[in-house]
Structure 1
Amino acid sequence: MTKNDPMEKINILIVDDRPENIIALEALLDREDVNIISTTLPNEALRLSWEMDISIALVDVQMPEMDGFELVEILKSNPRTKDILIIFVTAISTETKYAVKGLNTGAVDYLYKPLNPFVTSAKVDSFIQFVRNQRDIKKKNEELQAYQKKLIQAKEEAEQGKRIKENFLANMSHEIRTPINGIIGIANLLNSTSLTEEQKEMVNLLEISSNSLLGVINDILDLSKIEAGKFKINRAETDLLKNCNAVVNLLKIHAKEKSLELLTDYDQNIPTLVMADSLRLNQILMNLIGNAIKFTQHGQVALKVEVIDKKGNNVQVKFSVSDTGIGIAKENIEKIFETFEQADEQTTIKFGGTGLGLSIVKNLAKLKGGILEVFSEENKGSTFCFTNWYEVLSNDAQEKPAGQTKLLPFENVSILVAEDNPINAFLIKKILKDWNISFDLVENGREALEQLKEKDYDLVLMDTFMPVMNGLDAIKLIRDGYVSGKEQIPVITFSAAVLEDDKRTAINAGANDVISKPFELDVLHRKITLYAAKN
């Protein structure tokens, strides 16, 4: 048996200088669940208490050499024996002063000679039960402490795993998005040159492939942010129908390639402007319509947008994406919303994909406070519906400029660019030249600091990850006055890492703004306009 086994015998020590008294007590206390140890010598009692796990001690008060009070005082002063339950056994006067002295010494009770066998047995029984309860509590506390240690260890391991995952995602994002940025940027530059029709077609295919790969990376990162609880919904003034048309126009090419009709049906009661997170709404519609096109071989895909309810200044809008595709078996409908899952293996083999799209749609719908529904019949088609409430800002029709705004050149703007990737450097140089911006290019943070000593600039464009000295370290040194007089120069970082923590780290290091790679030309133009004008 272990020490804390509830069936373990309880050790009871009897200390009395008269052997006949010991024999009498042993006879009264004899039972299977106790182990009786006895001695007529107080010093021997101290040794036994040290060596054995004594739970209860019945101590005679009057003994030669050392009386019971002195013995108990020694026991109570020692950490190893202080928890022994002491019961004094005495034949002296039952006056209150003696009882008080014994209890003050550390005793829990008194037995008076001649002993009443029933009282003695009952008292010892109650203290044995008390000891067992204490041992149970101690055992439970030890188990709780062990569980607590395991929980702390599991929490630390989970946090370490989370840090490793986030670091991996950040590194993966940077390593993959950096070359994609170069590919997309050069494809854009190629499109602005004189090309044959065949060359234009190849460049378009290059853009489609790059954007497809970028979409997969973004999906993985979005799922990571949702799981980490770092995904935020940012509502702003939004034109719902403009958003829908942008998504449809983007996906029309893919539908046309498959000879599918991509139809739209818009309710006339859709308000012009509402408060919505347009980026996440686009993401939901892109995934739903993109999936519908992917899994439809013949027929059509349709987007229907309708107002289904109205309360005060709020409308409930339902976005329905229907197709005439392969449909989904009833038993697989829940499965398609799981991460990295598709309806079945044959679907993956035939149509490809990561199985991330619908998982992200489900999570986004939940975060936006909306409802996601699916109605499907195998081999006949599917309808996915996203329903959400929106605050109405305006119902008035607005005149909207058609086409993309031309990005005008700058006047008297000088920029320092720190970028080590040759493709990205080529791309940035070409863009800045087209915008009539004078610039100098360096390959790391250390060179950027030295160049700032030599020349004045309106703005610094700084890559985050570079050899010798990374961008963040260089920014900190600039802000700390490493280059006298340049402490307040505006700095925009380029980063292929898109996690919120990475952006926050750049801002905390002293960056004024962060542009994620691959970047939109109008975003870069707008930020240069903003920060170069401030300086």
Structure 2
Amino acid sequence: MTVKNNMLSSNEVPSKLGLLLVDDEEFNLKALKRILRDQGFNIFCARDGLAALELMEREQIAIIISDMRMPNMSGDDLLIKIDERWPETLKIVLTGYTDISNTLNLLNASSIYRYISKPWDDDFLLSTVHEAAAIYWGKVMDYCVEKNTLAQNEKLQESNTHLRHSVEQSQARLKKVNEKLKSAYDGERRLRRARQEAEKESSAKSRFLATMSHEIRTPLNAIIATNSLLLESTLSDEQKELVQLSLNGGKTLLSLINDILDFSKINADKLELQNSWFDLLKLVDDSCELMSGQVINKPVEIITLTDDKVPRECFGDEGRIKQILNNLISNALKFTEFGCVAVEVSMHDTLTIKVRDTGIGMSAENLKHIFDEFTQVDDSTTRRTGGTGLGLTICKQLTELMGGNISVQSSLNEGSCFSVELPIKSRSLLHLPRVKQTKPECILLSQNPSLFTYLKRQLELFNIQLNYSDSNHFEIDKSGHYAAIFYDLDTVCPLPNDNSSNKNSNKNNNKASNNMDNGSQNQRQALNIALISNDGFGREKTLKQQFFDLVLRKPLGLRSLLTNFLQSFVKHHHYSTDDFQFEGENWQKQADEHNYQYSLYIPAKILVAEDSPSNQAVIKSILKNLGVEVDIANNGQEAVEKAQQNSYDLILMDMAMPIKDGISASKEIIKQAGSTHRCPILALTANAYKEDRQRCSEAGMSDFISKPIDVALFREKISYWCGQHRPQLDVETPIDISLSTTTETKSDPGSEPMPESEPETGPNSYEHGQSQQHCELLDFSILKQLERDTSSEVLPDIISIFIDETEQRIPLMMNLFDQEQWQALGSEAHTLKSSSGSFGAAKLQKLAEKIEQHALQNDKARSVPLRAELHKLAQLSLAAIKDVQKNGLN
């Protein structure tokens, strides 16, 4: 084999392959380098074909990735020349859809390896480059093997000359050596082909996963959005709970899809945790409630047990912990046909979560491999449970990523117990009230002893004793000394007799009460409680009307026992508890996420540094509803001056402003504060790249909020940084944004922008009465959210500010186009992008973003054609939003 030119320039095999990137756009070169920088290549860059040829002369280049359209020399000519002089170099073309025909012609002209359409998919680009590298390395190995073989043959020939006296022996040895070499060579080629096939299959699987995840996400997003809208509408309590269950299930399914795609990231140590404070009891109850749908048709209970040392809040990755718990509960339910699945939560030095079941258990041999990938207890083809066998593997990897450990204890046919220990921080210890009276006695009527075992242990925390009966003939006349009777209506248990079936008549008709038998009187003294499955919404009202004082839905979590059972129990018998007021204990959120009458009040003074009047109006309206005193600065210099003259609890700093930008202004404010205590500064920007977050952190800013503003997240951050939990800031050690109390995204850490939701179009994306053209221009969900966050009275006024601002900015941008002042044009486009996004002008926002990118790169060729498009689209968008201002959103 003859290796031409730059494949190998010496006898040594290179440690890294040379990779040449050719593109006349600096933005594309930077993006490609970010993607490929840790992939094990020597990366070289060229802005045109001539520079690329010079690099080819000097360096060993194995792979070239080239654009098609470039100055001085087109990609076609460059690749043809490279094919003539360096045919071993693998050539990959980056092309737009308009260049497809040229690219196809180039396939035959210069033997290119593959072409990739712009904009490219990062995963596909990486897999293509690695496939090309594998092919090149294969050629190198072929060359080395051939070279070694030739050298060995030469030695054998020399030996044959010197050993003429032993021709037969020498020939025999030579034959054996040749056979071994051939066998080794054939084996090497087979292994190489197998490796290439495996890499192709892996790449195909990755592309399939990416495609399918996108296809699954699309309907899931519709399901989640629809349920969210339903919760905002007028529904009964039962309907809201059903919709909330559906919404939680959709969110969990979406999370699981993301987790499947994260599996490779976990193995590659690229998955980052998103830590924040979360409600531990709510997490456990939500998981158990979500999983309860799997036990509707079989005699299995999901039970929780929480000890008295569990904190109200923990600091960790709530989503990953919930994922671990969901996987463990779901796995236990698969292999449990009767009995229970119990979730035990305790806190000592570490948070410990145990999931215990009464299922089939595992043998000692199965326990050895239970956390291996694609492993299940029953691996036979006739197994009754589905699944990929990845759940427990992911649990183990996530637990270890959090610094914890997971273990399992099990015996065949005796159930299993999985234990997860996580070393996470906590605060606000849980206060469990205890009834002061001498241990009241209650009784559970059920045929599931597991339910009794755990419910008894939970009620003991309240100083309440629970007894048990599984008899179908429970004697009511002997129940008088019980303070409460729990009826498990999902199993065979005694039901109240007809004489006591109408609770209302017993309470309101004294004559009927006097005629009741002794058993019924005793029974009415107790608090009668029905326990039903989580799907029994329709039964609850009927049960309360007929007989029962209280209906509890399973699974019975600690929150439900506190807020429903214990409160009713204490009031029914006029018991007292130690230092506990039900009205003062708030177990639910202060404001439900779907209740837009936000009740949070923040007595703070905040400086808002923002140059866009429309964005100023939006932020002021949101802060006004929180009771915040707002001061406005129109640029960075004004913000510095006001920070010197006044004392603020918080500063919201836009990044891109005239005279002085947000970074410079923040540094100056922090420098002026010196060693004295200073208020936190939160960055506001429409650019959501990792580099922007890093610049904010390096400037000493405390947190980061991307625009358009997510109002719920905005309120949380304002509440946190102005509230009691705000840390004392040290000028020398600014808060690490990655460890902020709330996280804006869970995207892979890179330089790519945070994902933004696409505005929906089509018949389902707009309200009745809105024209389809308007809905193609505007995202009405943003406008409706803006109306809820401000008010229907305020919305027309702030829309008017946006209209005036935009009508002034568009002519200014037209002049900047004509004068070719690209940097100033990019700055104006950035502000237009931000304000348009805040008011739902989705198409105008996207166009402004394109203008900003091209203008800041001084790319005249791509900027100029956007001038006419901007003028037309701005007119249409302003006409649409004026119509909304005039006629409203309904």
TM-score, normalised with respect to structure 2: 0.32
Using CA pairs under 8 Å that are at least 6 residues apart, name the structure with larger relative contact order, 1 or 2: 1
TM-score (norm: length of structure 1): 0.49
Whichever of the two has the greater Rg, that structure is: 1
Q: Counting strand residues as a fraction of each chain, which structure ranks higher? A: 1
